Amino acid sequence: MALPTMLPIQSRRRFLRRTACGLGGIALSQLLADTSSKATAKGLSVRPSHFKPRAKNVIFIFMSGAPSQYDLFLPRPEMQRLHRQPVPESFLRNLDDALIKGSAQVFASPRTFSKHGECGMDFSDYLPHLATCADDLCMLRAVHTDVSNHHPAQLVMNCGVPLFGYPSMGSWVTYGLGSEANDLPGYVVLLSNSGEGVDGGSSLWNNGFLPSEYRAVNFRSNGDPILHLTTPKGISSGMQRSRLDAIRKLNEIRFQDTGDHEIESRIASYELAYRMQASAPNLVDLSNETRATHELYGLDQEATKWFGSNCLLARRMVERGVRFVQLYHSTWDDHSNLNTKLKTNCDMTDLPAAGLIRDLKQRGLLDETLVIWGGEFGRTPMNEVRRGNTPGKEGRDHHPFAYTMLLAGGGIKGGQIVGETDELGYHPTKDAIHVHDLQATILHCLGLDHEQLTFRHQGRDFRLTDVGGSVAEQLLV
């Protein structure tokens, strides 16, 4: 029996364009209108906010792996009294936490705490430099999230939902506001050289279903700022310009043929890359910074040099109009040997983070730059049991119900502690702030209404805060 003749494979777009005497073209135009962004044509040009903003830029210092709030920010005298004792039965009753075992013992922090600033904010001896910024900081002690595994929780913090394929916070911000940086991306990610990768990887700074110009660009703090950005040997600037012009014309022809707005994003990316070939090397050249600035960020010390360079680059980026800069440092996931590992991470990051805040303040940039410090969740008040209880080698498990984050500048009221927890620091008892509330507040500081910042995708309007979130007014100036 003869096989049926195979029809040529056609795309949905081509089928609609060629059928029904042009009626398919009408359907196609409606399809494109529904699935493409009006902002795509505008690219990263500056767009008006919903209302008067308090901040222009964001620097998010993301401490991947979840720093222990008990050993950095949260002294708990009751835990000292119950140290090495089983968690009280009354506390465990009706507790919905898969990570808590019946044999769990309270683990009081071995750290020494003291109060700092006029506000009397608590810091442990592992954070002596951030402690000097106490009156500029807003400490959130009752942040909570939905999941207790690293990658999903990092997605919730960065993308609003524990699922792949959704836009990151920086993508939402640049989609809503554009960028004032003509020769640099609107959204930049800097990774720390800690020897540990970020659990969530690039899914945390992806553009998801937003146009691709809103995806973050990874920068490096030494060598070529972006891999493969340098023009190859033997290629002059004129040759490079001619080649890009030819590619642009071909892309424009393809766009006219297909109507695919991602081609517009591709054209914009080529042009931005061309401009960055001149601007990016100057950006990462820190030799013109003063010696005092190098010392402020710890660039003269081996332990702090890499993270300090990233913090200094973040300041230089917001000076040049980059809208959203995210610094990732991994990993704070200390299931064992907490005391030693925590000190290593604090030694790498404490001085540079404090230097960034002080530098922004002395340059008059802190009022318009929102600085965020924190991870995806916190750690438990009991020691980790699955890896042994050797004294001095204890660790802590994951804790999503109440943990600590820091905010500074950008319309945030400094010198205050917001949120309270029970005597073990386990559950919020006052001013609990969900991750969606934090995201709504960040957008509010930038002049964006989190309920209005939406993108239509697959038949519905999506937003960073999913279906939740309220602005935490008590955080604001």
For helices 435-445 and 169-177, angle between their N-to-C axes, nearest 10 degrees: 30
Beta strands in 348-402 (DSSP E): 369-374, 378-383, 396-399
Host H or E run for residue 361 = helix 338-362
Q: What's residue 281's pLDDT?
A: 80
pLDDT-derived band at 256 (thresholds 50, 70, 90) equals confident
**Residues shown for the chain:** 477
Bridge pairing between strands 217-219 and 187-191: parallel
Predicted confidence (pLDDT) per residue in 51-87, tens digit:
999 999 999 999 999 999 999 999 999 999 999 998 8
Beta bridge partners of 140: 405, 418
pLDDT-derived band at 224 (thresholds 50, 70, 90) equals low
Distance between CA 374 and CA 371 in Å, rounded? 10
Q: What's residue 2's pLDDT?
A: 46
Distance between CA 87 and CA 92 in Å, rounded? 7
The predicted model gives 239-244 an average pLDDT of 71
Tell me whether residue 122 is in a domain.
yes
pLDDT > 60? residue 330: yes
Q: Provide the Cα torsion 174, 178, 179, 180; round to 10°.
A: -160
Q: What's residue 34's pLDDT?
A: 40
DSSP letter for 70, please: G
Distance between CA 324 and CA 318 in Å, rounded? 8
Domain of residue 159: give its range.
46-228+301-475
Task: Report helix, strand and coil shares of the chain as percent, to nearest 5.
Answer: 40, 15, 45
Please state, for a pLDDT cut of 70, what percent of the chain lies above it.
81
Tell me whether residue 265 is in a domain.
no
pTM: 0.85
Q: Which residues contact 220 (CB under 8 A, 6 or more apart)?
A: 190, 226, 227, 284
Q: Cα–Cα distances in Å, from 455 out to 46, 74, 274, 451, 475? A: 18, 39, 29, 11, 27
Predicted confidence (pLDDT) per residue in 3-28, tens digit:
444 344 445 545 544 554 444 444 43
Distance between CA 307 and CA 348 in Å, rounded? 7
Question: Domain containing 185 — which CATH number?
Answer: 3.40.720
> Comparing 6-10, 96-100, 309-313, 372-376, which segment has the lowest mean pLDDT?
6-10
Asked whether 144 and 422 are in contact (CB, 8 A), the reply is no
Which tokens in the block code for residue 137? 């900081």
The predicted model gives 151-163 an average pLDDT of 98
Q: What's residue 38's pLDDT?
A: 40
Helical spans, DSSP H, in 105-177: 128-131, 150-159, 169-177
pLDDT > 50? residue 394: yes
Q: What's residue 269's pLDDT?
A: 67
The predicted model gives 444-457 an average pLDDT of 98
Predicted confidence (pLDDT) per residue in 415-444, tens digit:
999 999 999 999 999 999 999 999 999 999
Tell me whether residue 75 is in a domain.
yes
Distance between CA 94 and CA 84 in Å, rounded? 22
Q: What's residue 33's pLDDT?
A: 38
Average pLDDT of the chain, as a whole number: 86
Q: What's residue 291's pLDDT?
A: 97
Q: What's residue 275's pLDDT?
A: 67
Q: What's residue 5's pLDDT?
A: 43
Q: Provide the Cα torsion 41, 410, 305, 186; round to 10°.
A: 0
Tell me whether residue 444 is in a domain.
yes
Helical spans, DSSP H, in 76-185: 77-81, 89-92, 128-131, 150-159, 169-177
Domain count, the chain: 1
Is the pLDDT higher at 74 or at 181? 74
Is the pLDDT higher at 473 or at 218? 473
Tell me whether residue 261 is in a domain.
no
pLDDT-derived band at 389 (thresholds 50, 70, 90) equals low
Q: What's residue 35's pLDDT?
A: 36
pLDDT > 90? residue 262: no
Is the pLDDT higher at 208 or at 276? 208
> Comparing 28-37, 205-214, 292-301, 406-415, which segment has the lowest mean pLDDT?
28-37
Q: Which residues contact 189 (CB under 8 A, 6 or more apart)?
A: 170, 205, 216, 217, 218, 219, 325, 326, 327, 328
